Each structure stands twice: as C-alpha cells, then as structure tokens.
Amino acid sequence: MSGDDDTNRLGAYLKARRDLISPERAGIQPGIRRRVRGLRREEVALLAGISADYYLRLERGRDKNPSPQVLDALARVLLLDDVECRYLHDLAAARPRARPRRRREHVPARLHQLLAALGVPAFVEGRAFDVLASNALAVALSPRLRPGENRLRSMLLDPEEREFHADWERATEGFVAAFRRSVGDGADDERVMQLVGELSLASARFRTLWARHDVRELRGGTTTVRHPVVGELVLHRDKLPADGLILVVYYPDAGSGSAEKLRLLASLTAAP
C-alpha cells in the first residue's frame, strides 16, 4: 500500500510511534547532543523490558510474532491509548495478505427509506468513506455528501471543504486516523489501495498524517461548519453501524440557532 512499508506493517507502526514520543514524555533526560527527534530503539527496548536486539528485529520485520505481553509493554512505552493498543495487536496478528480485490458495498432498500424519512442531514458511507447514499438535506448541507463522492478525498483535495470546516486541520487529523482504523492495512482491498495511492500523490497533508500512523475509532462528535447560505452551524454527528456500512446523522441541539438554520435550509431545499 502506498505510504506504508508493504511487507513490515508492524515495524512501520512501531517506528512511526517511536518518532512521536519525546524523551521528556517518556521520562528520559534528552541530553545536549541528542539528534533523534523521538525515542531511540534502545530506549524503547529498555523501558519495555526487552533486549535492544529483539526490539530491532521487531522493527525491521525479522520477528513478526511478539507475545501479547511484549506488545502491551511496547504500548505502554509508546503511550498508546486503548484504540491504538488494539491496532498494534491487530497488526501483530495479521494473516498473510490476500490478492487485492474490490469489495462490493450495497445499501439495502430499508436504509434508503430511512434516509428519506429523516428530517436531518444523513448519509451512508462505506469502509473507505465513499458516500453510497444520502438524503436531500445532506446534499444541501454539503454537495460533497452526494453519492459517488469520497469523504476523505473531498476533505483533503476540495478547496470548498476547507472553507466548510471551521477547524480543517483538526478535522483532517480525525478523518485520516479514523480511515486508518476503518480500513486496517487495506492490503486486500483494491479500492483502499487506489485511494491511498491517489491521496499520497495529491496531498502533502495526507502524506504527513498517514506517516504518523494515528488511529481513532469511528465515532460521533460535535462539529462546526460554515454553510455558504445559512452561515455557521454547530451540529452533533452520530455514526451508526448498519449492515456492514455506517449511517452518519447530523443534528442540532433542539431550539438552538443551528436548528433554526437547518429548518431554513430544509425549506430552501423543498422549495420548487
């Protein structure tokens, strides 16, 4: 997969996370002549209670079967949270990669019916953040939410998306990290490989964030967006699993200014 070490995913992840941990965060005095921006391999090994030679073999892909205890020790040293720790264990347990294939994602009729019945912006996205179905209010909120668009590509490459998000830098961090968690290594999915390759070539922001190996769970939250007609809206976002897909729903606080703006947007959308 473009942007990763295709044959040593565990080692690539360990190195990326090691580079992000400063000596001070790990409780080590950095020293005057220190030239490494993160932790040295031998420092990780010492703090994890394993030999430097063994850690070197792990990072270089010469040993791909560390015990759960070793992985937990490394997660502690690298300050991984629960999501990142599970991802580390998943990488170590990864099976041999299958030939890349394009996975078919189908939106059942009942989800189309649900989208039409909801009075708030809602859409269905696939594993790689492709928009597979959406209601009219979602498209009115953002044309990038129409079926056929890709949420990650839009976020990183569409100038209008940068204006749409009040905090684009933070939004892109979350999107790329959630994408990595959603697709895993993506080595058996032709669509994922194609998208990562495209974004690696077209977006310096993606290359930077992808190299960090951040992972986050797919979950909801609250976001502030700037609509070109109704102005700024503060919306909650829930992501609900549905038949192997994700139903995404945006909604405001009841009685809020954002609720009024969303009603105005709905009326404009319904106007002949």
pLDDT, position 182: 85
Q: Where are the domains of the chain?
A: 9-92, 109-270
Is the pLDDT at 232 greater than 50? The verdict is yes
State pTM to two decimals: 0.81
Question: Nearest 5°: phi and psi at 101?
Answer: -145, 155
Distance from C-alpha of 126 to C-alpha of 246, rounded to nearest angstrom = 6
Which pLDDT band, with edges at 50, 70 and 90, does 4 fall under? very low
Which CATH number does the domain 9-92 belong to among 3.40.50.300, 2.30.29.30, 1.10.10.10, 1.10.260.40? 1.10.260.40
The single residue listed with the structure tokens 């939250």 is 221
Question: Per CATH, which fold does 109-270 belong to?
Answer: Beta-Lactamase (3.30.450)
Is the pLDDT at 233 greater than 70? The verdict is yes
Is the pLDDT at 3 greater than 50? The verdict is no
Integer CA distances (angstroms), 89 to 70, 98, 239, in order: 10, 19, 25
Per-residue pLDDT, averaged over 191-215, amounts to 91
Which pLDDT band, with edges at 50, 70 and 90, does 25 fall under? confident
Is the pLDDT at 47 greater than 60? The verdict is yes
pLDDT, position 130: 95
Averaged pLDDT score across all residues of the chain: 88
Alpha helices (H) in the chain, listed in sequence order: 9-20, 41-48, 52-59, 68-77, 82-92, 109-117, 136-141, 151-157, 159-164, 168-183, 190-202, 204-212, 257-270
Stronger pLDDT, 94 or 80, i.e. the higher one:
80
pLDDT, position 1: 47
Beta strands in 114-207 (DSSP E): 122-125, 131-134
